[in-house]
Chains A and B, each alone.
Chain A
Amino acid sequence: MSKVLFASISKKFVMALAGLFLLTFLPVHLIINFMLLKSDPAPFNAAAHFMATFPLVKIFEIVLMAAILIHVTYGIFLQISNWLARPVGYVSGSKAETSFFSKFMIWTGATVLTFLVLHFFNFYFIKLGLVEGDPENFYSVAHDLFRIPAYNYIYLACFVMLGFHLYHAFSSAFQTLGLNHRIWTPIVKKIALFYAILIPAGFASISITLWLFS
């Protein structure tokens, strides 16, 4: 049984499932973030309060944190074993026709993770009481952050990286789960492109709007 748990395919399987779960959370977060565009802070703060206190969401939060932890840990572990599998590289590089973004998943992933840590310091740790701030007024916290040009640069750069990461991750997860189909796989790839543009563009549009017009 231990062989199954530690097989490369199993690790990829768990990583893909965790990744797909994370994909479901992003649209929810985006919808809540759009409330930041309202001049009234009440709807956003109410949504943030609901997310922080509603019991079902609390369970979802635990699963979400576990998914992040599993996805990141397995991702790093697999990447290290992949690097070890080729201790000496090619001088002439690789000119194989491959999906461009698939070659940089560890780096786009690392950028997203770095942003996530920053994001936790700015919001999640306030909620947990680890960092000073008002957990009932995340609207002001967000608006204050988006007034800082440097924060917007980092934010936008990280969401571009997230888009690159999502584009490959979306269809790759299905392939890892064994779901490759003559008709459906090209459709999944189109949805992946749509998702990878739409979600980061949504987050970025909020950042740009608040930065330039707030």
Chain B
Amino acid sequence: MKLTLKIWRQKNASAKGNFETYQMDNVSPEMAFLEMLDSLNKRLVEEDKDPVAFDHDCREGICGSCGMYINGHPHGPVPAITTCHLSMRFFKDGETVWIEPWRAKPFPVIKDLIVDRTAFDKIQIACGFISVNTGSAPEANNILIPKKISDEAFNSAICIGCGACVAACKNASAMLFVSAKISQYALLPQGRVEAKERVRAMVDKMDEVGFGSCSNTGACEAECPKQIKITNIARMNREFFKAF
């Protein structure tokens, strides 16, 4: 396959940045998208040029670090997968592929396709946890939780914090991420103890770091690689009203 890549290149956080065009010949449909970028980088290194910087870690769809905006979609055009799971067979021979970093004020570009996602960490640190005493783990069956509820909490907890929701939202809103983190605790008895403090602190931090607000367009849900539902946002709103 032959592809034309249009990749955002930016030397550092303060540099202006622009799109560079790269012609890729002999791209195998069996390749993973990141492998295709690896092969481009190998070529660039051989040509004594600066390779394209992009985040990646597990390459198993777990860590969520490989976030990049491909042809109008966070993580590429295939739903419910991260970029590392994106195969080149989903692209056509001769296609032009636009690759951009996440765009949001709280996610400044560090270099090329790498953005600083510390804003998510700040929200988590605000109260995205439960306070527990140290010591041995308590007996799991001491607090019984209906299967339906634990499944719902788990479906929120699978958020990998990749930032695709922010990238997809026209308002660069982080409400899907924040609501998933709030929901995973709010649904469980262990999380209810600090539910009010949690929602207040996390929403406050979310606003402080500069994310936009939710317009209920559903773009975040459509693009989330873990298919987190916007019902979480409604739950977060309910939790927020209950907290005052």
- Please, which residues of chain B bring their CB within 8 A of the CB of A8? 203, 206-207, 212-214
Known contacts A85-B210, A175-B234; A13/B241 CB under 8 A: yes
Asked if A40 lies at the interface with its beta carbon under 8 angstroms from chain B, I say no
- The reply to whether A85 and B72 contact each other, CB–CB distance below 8 Å, is no
- Please, which residues of chain B bring their CB within 8 A of the CB of A89? 103
Find the A residue at minimum CB distance from B199: A9
Asked if B118 lies at the interface with its beta carbon under 8 angstroms from chain A, I say no
Partner of B244, one of A4, A82, A85: A4
B 185-244 contacts with A by CB, 8 A: 200, 203-204, 206-207, 210-219, 222-223, 230-231, 233-238, 240-241, 244
Asked if B28 lies at the interface with its beta carbon under 8 angstroms from chain A, I say no
B 66-80 contacts with A by CB, 8 A: 69-73, 77
- The reply to whether A11 and B213 contact each other, CB–CB distance below 8 Å, is yes
Find the B residue at minimum CB distance from A94: B72
A68–B218 Cα distance when bound, in Å, is: 26
Q: Chain A interface residue count: which class?
A: 35 or more
Asked if A172 lies at the interface with its beta carbon under 8 angstroms from chain B, I say yes
- The reply to whether A12 and B213 contact each other, CB–CB distance below 8 Å, is yes
- Selected interface stretch from B56-64, B131-139, B167-175: B167-175
Interface flags, A42-84, vs B, CB<8A=1, else 0: 0000000000000000000000000000000000001001101
Find the A residue at minimum CB distance from B206: A8
Partner of B219, one of A85, A94, A105: A94
Asked if A152 lies at the interface with its beta carbon under 8 angstroms from chain B, I say no
Main secondary structure on B side of the interface with A: mixed
- The reply to whether B222 and A96 contact each other, CB–CB distance below 8 Å, is yes
A179–B234 Cα distance when bound, in Å, is: 6
- Please, which residues of chain A bring their CB within 8 A of the CB of B106? 85
Asked if A111 lies at the interface with its beta carbon under 8 angstroms from chain B, I say no
Asked if B105 lies at the interface with its beta carbon under 8 angstroms from chain A, I say yes
Partner of B240, one of A7, A84, A86, A91: A7
A89–B203 Cα distance when bound, in Å, is: 24
Asked if B54 lies at the interface with its beta carbon under 8 angstroms from chain A, I say no
- The reply to whether A86 and B105 contact each other, CB–CB distance below 8 Å, is yes
CB distance from A104 to the nearest CB of B (A): 10
Find the B residue at minimum CB distance from A86: B172
- The reply to whether A96 and B213 contact each other, CB–CB distance below 8 Å, is no
Find the B residue at minimum CB distance from A102: B217
- Please, which residues of chain B bring their CB within 8 A of the CB of A98? 217-219, 222
- The reply to whether B207 and A7 contact each other, CB–CB distance below 8 Å, is yes
Asked if A176 lies at the interface with its beta carbon under 8 angstroms from chain B, I say yes
Partner of A85, one of B71, B172, B222: B172
A85–B107 Cα distance when bound, in Å, is: 10
Asked if A129 lies at the interface with its beta carbon under 8 angstroms from chain B, I say no
CB distance from A90 to the nearest CB of B (A): 6
Asked if A24 lies at the interface with its beta carbon under 8 angstroms from chain B, I say no
A 182-214 contacts with B by CB, 8 A: none
Find the B residue at minimum CB distance from A177: B237
A176–B238 Cα distance when bound, in Å, is: 9
Partner of A92, one of B98, B214, B244: B98
Find the A residue at minimum CB distance from B216: A172
- The reply to whether A87 and B105 contact each other, CB–CB distance below 8 Å, is yes
A178–B144 Cα distance when bound, in Å, is: 27
- Please, which residues of chain B bring their CB within 8 A of the CB of A172? 215-216
CB distance from A111 to the nearest CB of B (A): 17
30 contacts between A and B (CB under 8 A): A6-B207, A7-B207, A8-B203, A8-B213, A8-B214, A13-B241, A82-B170, A84-B105, A84-B212, A85-B104, A85-B171, A85-B172, A85-B210, A85-B211, A86-B103, A86-B170, A86-B172, A92-B69, A95-B72, A96-B222, A96-B223, A98-B218, A99-B218, A168-B216, A175-B237, A176-B214, A178-B234, A178-B241, A179-B234, A180-B234
Nearest first, the 5 closest Cβ-Cβ pairs linking A and B are A180-B234, A178-B238, A95-B72, A85-B212, A82-B171
